[in-house]
Amino acid sequence: MAGVVHNIRRHSLKLIVIPSLLLLLIFFVYPLITILIRSFIDPEPGISNYINFFSQSGYMKALVNTFKISFIVTIITLLAAYPVAYVMAKAGPRLKGLIMLAILLPFWTALLVRTFAWMVLLQDKGIINKFLLWLGVIDAPLKLMNSLTGVVIGMVYIMLPFMILPMHTTMVSIDRRLLQAAENLGAPPFIAFLRVFLPLSLPGVGAGSIIVFVMTLGYYIIPSLLGGTEQIMLGEFIADQIQAHLNWGIGATAGAVLVFITLIFFIAYLKLSDEEVPVD
């Protein structure tokens, strides 16, 4: 009887796992393999696409811009999100609910609509420039549209929830008795935060940072609408190569390079996250 039950459980597990594996193979693995193969065979077999990609300054500029903007957005998002996550972790149920509502509310609006809203705010005669001119902070409108500043502002706004939520989850799980013990041993609250709370919150910081960084690498809409020709990222570059120039080889090569470098960062994060963070 026990053997029959074991076989039923094993077959039930297969019925659950197999569809998930098929979905991964069809919608994730197959497209990646197709891109990789196409980068080597279109328009002719060989590594000419990779040689061309890494030898052209325009192509490399898009690659450098992608990682520069992703790094800047990740750092700014981290600095902006950490205090919010910290307040949420210490707040009561009502305040935490209001903060969570404010964080999740933008998801109820389409990304394209939110980006167009930022276009209205950031233009030369937009609300931000008009307000700064009214305050007398500036004498002429700031160039917020078609600039690095506009791209960073728009992407930080979009990415904040993806940084706040992982950090909040980690902070909530931290045992408050550890902070009380540090304070009972004579540590001021700020020192207890630096020596106890901050190290214990680093897994959430790392998870949020890698999510934001990886998502930012492949963004297309915000750089396309808020950035100019000097801020082109690989997502926009790939779309332009395929849609405007029908250059599938270079487009696939850029995609393969982006996936490969992203995997390197993700593997590095996994190795670092395996190391235990010491708490002094």
Instruction: Evaluate if residue 161 carries a pLDDT over 90.
Output: yes
Query: Is residue 92 domain-shared with residue 230, that is, in the same domain?
Result: yes
DSSP 171: H
What would the two tokens of residue 124 be?
């030369």
Same domain, 73 and 35: no
Tell me what the mean pLDDT of segment 8-35 comes to: 77
Confidence of residue 8 (pLDDT cuts 50, 70, 90): low
User: Between 279 and 111, where is the model more confident?
Assistant: 111
Task: State both tokens at 277.
Answer: 């963070």
pLDDT, residue 185, reads: 81
- Residue 171: CB partners within 8 Å, gap ≥ 6? 85, 86, 88, 89, 197, 201, 204
pLDDT band at 271 (very low <50, low <70, confident <90, very high): confident
Q: Which domain holds residue 25?
A: 1-41
72-76, 165-169, 241-245: range with lowest mean pLDDT = 241-245
> For residue range 132-145, what is the model confidence (pLDDT) as tens digits?
888 888 888 888 88
- Whether residues 34 and 62 share a domain: the answer is no
What's the CATH number where 62 sits? 1.10.3720.10
pLDDT at residue 6 greater than cutoff 60: no
Number of domains within the chain? 2
Work out the pLDDT band at 11, boundaries 50, 70, 90.
low
Convert the pLDDT of each residue in 211-235 to its tens digit: 999 889 888 888 888 887 777 888 8
* 9 and 62 in a common domain: no
- Same domain? 204 vs 245: yes
pTM surpassing 0.75? yes
The verdict on 141 and 260 lying in the same domain is yes
- Does residue 194 lie in a domain region? yes
Handedness of CA 156, 158, 160, 163 (dihedral sign): negative
Q: What is the DSSP string of 24-38?
A: HIIIIIHHHHHHHHH
